[in-house]
Chain A
Amino acid sequence: MAEKHERLGWLGRGIQRRRFLQGAGILAATGALSGLLEAAAAQETGPVQEPIPSFTGPGPNPYWNSVSPYAVYPQKVPLLRLTDRPVQLETPRHYFLTPLTPNAAFFVRYHLDVIPNAVDLSTWRLHVEGNVENPLALSLPELLKLEATKLVAVNQCSGNSRSRFQPRVAGGQWGNGAMGCAEWLGVRLRTLLDMAKPKSGTVQIQFQGLDSGKGPEGKGSHAFLKSLDLTDPVIDQCLVAYAMNGEPLPMLNGFPVRLIVPGKFATYWVKHLTWIRALTQEDSNFWMASAYKIPDTPNGSTTPDAVAAGTVKMVPIGKVNMPVRSFIIVPDGTVPLVAGVPTEVRGIAFSGSGRVVKVEVSTDDGKTWVTAQLGDDLGPYAFRTWSWTWTPEQPGQYTLAVRATDEKGNTQTDEGVWNPGGYLWNKIERQPVTVLQNH
């Protein structure tokens, strides 16, 4: 049988011999053909009979997404469930063919487990308080009366692609799907600040949502708090959004309103935003002082040895914009291409520092590059789709690669990033593909 398995190629691999022999008995009784015995072998095989491993490591996760199972959550299509309490859900790869990510597929990341299940709009108010002349408590109708602004922006977890790190670091083991792009509609943060009038001495604006944890008060396990410097130019770009892709925000994405911080990582995009506070001192809570810190180096990279030696100066990740990234969405390597038949290579790109102006694709593992066609420009903070039609002439194994360049000239390299938090990954993405002979 070994010879026959070899001839069947991939169809012959992974045969479960015991079950095959059971089938063989039935067929032998009918005096059937050796060819049909081969049929029995092949029908037991194929590429999708085994579940994906439940974890990866200590090497890098080789898959585009995390290895999490699919799970169904309220208002969501089946997503990849990293953790169930608090909830962390990753968006599967194929939802990234469009510049806007559907709400029902948008990733979810919570830090604390008391996540709202119900919000009463008759009593909910957005509070603007602290060191302000005119404290506010605005109902949703009052927010809706203020001038509305629309903005398309990418929301990406700081730890997106953390499972690529070498050596691996603890934390949410995201693949590439802890990101999404939506059209956000809401009120400018600046409008609210102008109404509340922060008093002199205000250094930071702090944000808090309705989610909380069971840890003791004053600890990071009790409340999730993020702050931006009042002088940070991003303050003028921020929105308090009540709509996402033309609908109310799904509960797990921050209903009734969330903060939109264009170009910055999602840790600042506080969900269920309910308190906006003017602080007279720099925020020293755990989520600013200890968590989400990156090395103060040009690309946020360091080494385990430097961290162990305590020589690395760390700064909040809000000090930087998201690095430029690009992704191959199709082909995804799960199906072969065919020599001579054109295939559209497609994906997305984005940068926290401005528009993506160039996307290049390689079919030879990054040795040579061709320029892809860019899709619609939905704004400087949006996903930019790209495509390039490839007609592979020769069968064989190829490695596709993609790199993007933004309007500031930032581009991607083959140098990985390493830092203890598992943040800022933007290495050039690759996709091995098989091209079949066509005759």
Chain B
Amino acid sequence: MLRARVAIPVVVVILAIVAIVAFVATRGGTTMKPQAAASPSTATATPTAKLDTPTAVVLSGLQNSSVGLQAGGNYMTGTLGLVAQPAPPTVPPGSVYAVGPYPLYTAQLADGPGKELVLGYCQTCHSVTYITMQPPLPANTWAAEVNKMIQTYGAVIPDDAAKQIIAYLQSHYTPETRK
């Protein structure tokens, strides 16, 4: 699979440095391209460049066919994986063992008729991450869940609102409708 690429002239090495620097500046990383077929004879024939600067030596070494480096210096932008670090709390003396408030990370619900009713009624007792956490559930399961909240847990939800809440959940959170 590896294509043959035998000698790299020194000018190409310099151009490569320029290109890598430009690329790192704009994109944040690069990939070490696998060089020629990894036979020892090819490897020893490769470094014809005049290696008179430390940078040239390093790059020449990294691109040598016998070191195997295929990618390095890859970064990405964005916030994936970041979680803000809370400042450490101060602990006053006394007899009260206290922690700070518990953070709400409430999920976004799908837009559609009934959403406001869900936000209003369901969130009396729990946040709507209880909805978004679920796998896609059959329509009759959503009806049963809402009825359980009313009959078993005592949620005070008028019949008409309950019907609209069920219809909303069935419109967005079943195997057929969940996005």
Contact = CB atoms under 8 A, between A and B. Distances in A.
Interface of A: 7-8, 11, 19, 23, 26-27, 30-33, 35-36, 38-44, 46, 48-51, 54-58, 61, 68-75, 78, 81-87, 112-113, 115, 117-122, 163, 168, 170, 172-173, 213-216, 218-222, 248, 251-252, 255-256, 286, 290
Interface centre among A23, A50, A215, A251 (most CB of B within 10 A): A215
B133 A82 contact: yes
Secondary structure of the B side of the interface? loop
Given A84-B105, A219-B152, A42 B19 contact: no
Interface residues of B, number: 64
Given A117-B101, A251-B99, A26 B23 contact: yes
Contacts of B83: 70-72, 78
Contacts of B133: 55, 68, 82-83, 172-173
A72 to B, nearest CB: 6
Interface of B: 1-2, 5, 12, 15-16, 18-20, 22-23, 26-33, 70-71, 73-74, 76, 80-81, 83-86, 89, 95-107, 124-127, 129-130, 132-137, 141, 145, 152-155, 175, 178
Nearest to B89: A74
A116 B100 CA distance: 10
Contacts of A117: 98-102
A120 B5 CA distance: 74
Given A11-B71, A40-B27, A173-B134, A121 B106 contact: no
B74 A43 contact: yes
A44 B12 CA distance: 24
A36 B33 contact: yes
18 contacts: A36-B23, A36-B30, A40-B23, A40-B27, A43-B30, A49-B80, A50-B80, A57-B135, A74-B102, A78-B83, A85-B102, A85-B129, A113-B126, A117-B98, A117-B99, A119-B96, A121-B95, A251-B97
B104 A85 contact: yes
Contacts of A84: 102-106, 127, 129
Contacts of B12: 33
B29 A7 contact: no
